[in-house]
Amino acid sequence: MADTLANLSCDIIIPAYQNETTLPLTLKALEAQTIPSPWQVRVLIADDGSTDRTAAVANQFTHRRKLNLAVIAGKHAGAAAARNQALSQAQAALVFFLGADIILCPGSLAAHLNWHQHHPAPSLGALGFVGWDPRLKPSPLMEWSIHGGPQNDYDSLLGKAFADPKHYFYGSHLSLKRSFLQNDQFSPVFSSYGWEDLELGRRLAAKGLKLRVLTEARALHHHFYRPSSFIKRQYLSGRALVIYQSLYPREQLISPPKRTRRVKYGIIKFSGLYTILSLIVENFQSKINSPFVFSILSITAFWRGIWQNKLKNIQQ
């Protein structure tokens, strides 16, 4: 086990797609971070073939003195491919994965750097916390999604020292040693939303990765989800889970619901009730606060993604 890191350097990897609005907030927050001496930090923006001004915005920050920033252009192939492009150019001892809509709170970067400096073992990584940016005025649906819903489950980590990488390798705010990654990358089979980070976490957990819960490293998620975009997210997550399951045929990653529940969700979907609930929540999102309704919409969209992708694979 190494007593020290090879060098005190960190590459911050940010995959970006259509993030012209949020990326400046993310980068300005990075500019405001305190970097402990003698750490050297570089930011790698992997533009995933954006058609808006994401690349132009990122390039503007290459001329600012506060950030050592490089922009990597690529074709649109998903967050996994974008992160891999940046990883291929990473040279630092530490790799820090950050989302293009994640705003680091003051002191968060220093918390990661200091922790790794004092815990240099290659198998030790660190997971920071992420919550909604209150300036967005999160809707009841958004709040439910992180407190019992399907969004990243930080609540269950409160009071815990370590997180299982198979379930908490969240690519939006996480750091680990590049030497531990070696040739491991995000699987390119994930070209849409969901599961690419947790799948890599599963492989790294098998190699012995331990993920420290870094409670002092906090960040804000600046992404407002309308009910329609939340439902689409759940649908894509279900589709991606089928791909994830195909990589591990001997493990049960998809737990089939009981027959009664399948019938219930089928009735909800095909009776039109699902559409009605979706429209009600979409049009009255600030007033509807029903975990039951949110759960119906979330799970039905999720299983619709699973079933449709399974059927497509069977037909092929």
Domain limits, the chain: 9-221, 227-315
Chain-centroid distance, C-alpha 49? 19
| The predicted structure's pLDDT at residue 28 | 97
Q: Distance between CA atoms of 217 and 215, rounded to whole angstroms?
A: 5
- At CA 263, angle to CA 229 and CA 192, rounded to 5? 30
AA identity, residue 311: L
d(CA 289, CA 198): 30
Burial class from Cβ neighbours inside 10 Å (0-12, 13-18, 19+) for residue 203 reads middle
pLDDT of residue 29: 98
The low-confidence residues of the chain, meaning pLDDT below 70, are 1-4, 257-271, 311-316
Residue 34 has what pLDDT? 96
Q: What is the pLDDT of residue 300?
A: 87
Q: How far apart are the first and last CA of the chain?
A: 48
- How many other C-beta atoms can be found within 10 angstroms of the C-beta atom of residue 293? 18
The pLDDT of residue 266 is 63
Query: What pLDDT shows up at residue 316?
Result: 44
Q: Return the pLDDT at 258.
A: 63
Beta 40-48 vs 9-16: how paired, if at all?
A: parallel
- Kindly report the CATH class assigned to 9-221: alpha beta
